Amino acid sequence: MEQSLKNYDAFKGEDFFRASGNLIGAGSCGGKAKGLAYAHAALQGSGLETKICFPDLSVVLSTEIFSDYIDGMGLSDLYEDDDWSRVRQRVMRAPLLPACRAELESILDRFDAIGSPPLAVRSSSLLEDSVALAFAGKYETCFSPNCGKREDRIVALDECVRKVFSSLFNPSARAYREKHGKNHRDEAIAVIIQSLSGKSHGNCFYPELAGTLFSRVFRRPNPRIKKEDGLMRLCFGLGTRTVDRCAARIFYLTNPSLRPAGNQPEQVAEASQESFDYIDLDACSFMTGDLSMFSNFLQKEHKNFSAYVQMYADNILYSTLADPEEPARPLFSFPELHIREKGLFDLSKDLLRRLEDVSGIPVDVEFAYETSPEKSFKLLQMRPLTSYVEMNRVELPDTPDEKIIFQGDRMVSNGLMENVSHLVYVNAETYKDQWDPSGAARAIGEINRALDGKKYILAGPGRWGSRNPALGVPVLYAQICNCGCLVEISVPELNFSPELSFGTHFFLDMDSDGTLYLPVFSRQKRNKFNTAWLDSALFKTGEHPSVRVYEGNFSVYLDGEIESGIITAR
């Protein structure tokens, strides 16, 4: 494949997949597949090509297959239909064209020839993973267990492909395109079908470790962390937890012992993964398992178990070999991983350096890693890391305490918003008492729509966009896309806490949109949560009683040099 690698935009991923016979159709392979092809090319002759593996088989259905399906099934009007429920239903009722169904039969034969592994079915759209826009998490990724009868496996793969096709029309994808001035009809989706990386452990299939790597750190918890040092976000099991707003371990590659949420036992416990995702080969289904239920099983399966897991009881962290007096809960806190698996960290730094040097742009990599019987690093995706432009230093003004609504001291980047007319706030107690997380998210979405064209401040308990509504309001991108500053507030008595999760799709969205971020840890020094102001100031209630809208004159001042930020009312 004779191509220049210096201009990522001009690189043609189709050449790579066509040369290996893994491109179906005459269209584009899309951005995600292009990134994978680019990584293959970039590692050639580097010395890393013998250390870095790729999925055993990756087959791409080009955008031509998608376009033929949309036209052939009379679905082209979906580009203008913003009723997501109706759109999804129409696509899932419209069968693939016979020629595409025949291709799936042939593709399944090829995967059967390498042992019939579970499959990952990923979007790869024209606009996705470009240098300018990430579209991170906007389109679907499905897992097909690929087990059971042949016809059942074809039906499951067919359904996954159509789910990926339908995701082009989902509300968050629409909102992201509109916000960035892209025409809906300029977008089309290719699909990558890959062998899922991992191993069978009894009836459970998963990679031992999975993660994302970033060659630059744009949101730093500490000025000692340099932007070019790189970062790893890691979880046990399938890598879904490294891109969603779930607990996962963050390692800064030149200071891997530093934890952004803090090193105190309570802080470690609060930020640690306690469940993992896997494919159940008996049930032929994607599943989530609690570590507390799987602890004995995993200890037998993984010799590095003690490097992954600690026991937490009575605000103390114990080794897995200890016998605490109090009942303890196990945590994937990865206390010794950077010591025992130093080679993983060294290889990650070398890989990021190589990819950034060749491409000339910051990069983002997804990977899976096995520690035994021999060490194996599989690169699953590579994409440009959407640039984050940090403002010049913003000095905090002298402000009376009663006018400071929020103050925080972690993950603060330089940023400024003045004369903001609206502050939207979710009251934690009412959110819990009037339990309707989807209703709260919809109420915020209505306000977001009403404030189109105005940047506003959005503050609420815990983790915005969490897939667990007990940890935060489960908003989608389309419901907060006009927000200019996002505030996450800890409310310890209700188990709400921000997650300092640089590396998730959620944070990548904020970076590409230029959204400011302020986490607030109640009752901790240099943090302030002014409930007196919030309860005494006039507000209107949204469609959910927990949602309040304040009108006034608000300002956001974030000073990344001293790691402090405030939000004030005039």
Q: What is the 3-state secondary structure (H, E, C) of 321-374?
A: CCCCCCCCEEEECCCCHHHHCHHHHHHHHHHHHHHHHHHCCCEEEEEEEECCCC
Q: CA–CA separation, 217 vs 504, rounded Å? A: 13
User: Could you tell me the two tokens for 123?
Assistant: 């979007």
417 pLDDT higher than 70: yes
Q: Is the pLDDT of residue 254 over 80?
A: yes
> Exposed/middle/buried for 336, CB within 10 Å: 0-12, 13-18, 19+?
middle
Structure tokens at 121: 């079915």
Is residue 244 over pLDDT 80?
Answer: no
pLDDT at position 1 is 46
Sign of dihedral through CA atoms 442, 447, 449, 452? negative
- Residue found under tokens 């306690």: 274
Residue 413 has pLDDT above 90, yes or no: no
Lowest-pLDDT choice from 57-66, 144-153, 284-293, 503-512:
503-512
pLDDT of residue 466: 86
Query: Do residues 153 and 144 make contact, with C-beta atoms less than 8 angstroms apart?
Result: yes
Q: What is the structure's pLDDT at 221?
A: 66
Name the band, by pLDDT with cuts 50, 70 and 90, for residue 270. Answer: confident
Mean pLDDT of 512-541: 93
Per-residue model confidence as pLDDT tens digits over 137-173: 789 899 999 999 999 999 999 999 999 999 999 999 9
Task: Give the mean model confidence (pLDDT) for residues 516-543.
Answer: 94
Contact between residue 489 and residue 464 where contact means Cβ atoms under 8 Å apart:
no
Q: Provide the percentage of residues in the chain whose pLDDT is more than 90.
A: 75
In this predicted structure, the answer to whether residue 2 has a pLDDT above a threshold of 60 is: no
Is the preceding peptide bond at 384 cis, omega within 30 degrees of 0? no
Q: Which CATH superfamily is domain 8-196 in?
A: ATP-grasp fold, A domain (3.30.1490.20)
pLDDT per residue as tens digits for the range 548-557: 999 999 999 9
Q: What is the mean pLDDT of the chain?
A: 92
Instruction: Inform me whether the pLDDT recorded for 436 exceeds 80.
Output: yes
The answer on pLDDT for 3 being more than 70 is no
What angle in degrees, to the nearest 10, is found between the helix axes of 98-112 and 150-166? 120
- Residue 412's pLDDT is 84
Kindly give the interhelix angle for 342-359 and 30-43, rounded to the nearest 10 degrees. Answer: 100
354-397 tens-digit pLDDT:
999 999 999 999 999 999 888 999 999 999 887 666 678 899 99
Q: Longest C-alpha distance within the chain, in Å?
A: 70
Hunting for tokens 């088989």 — which residue is that?
Answer: 57
Q: What is the pLDDT of residues 94-146, one digit of tens each?
A: 999 999 999 999 999 999 999 999 999 999 999 887 766 767 778 989 999 99
Residue 549 vs residues 23, 518, 556: alpha-carbon distances, Å: 51, 19, 17
Of 240-249, 311-320, 447-456, 503-512, minimum mean pLDDT range:
503-512
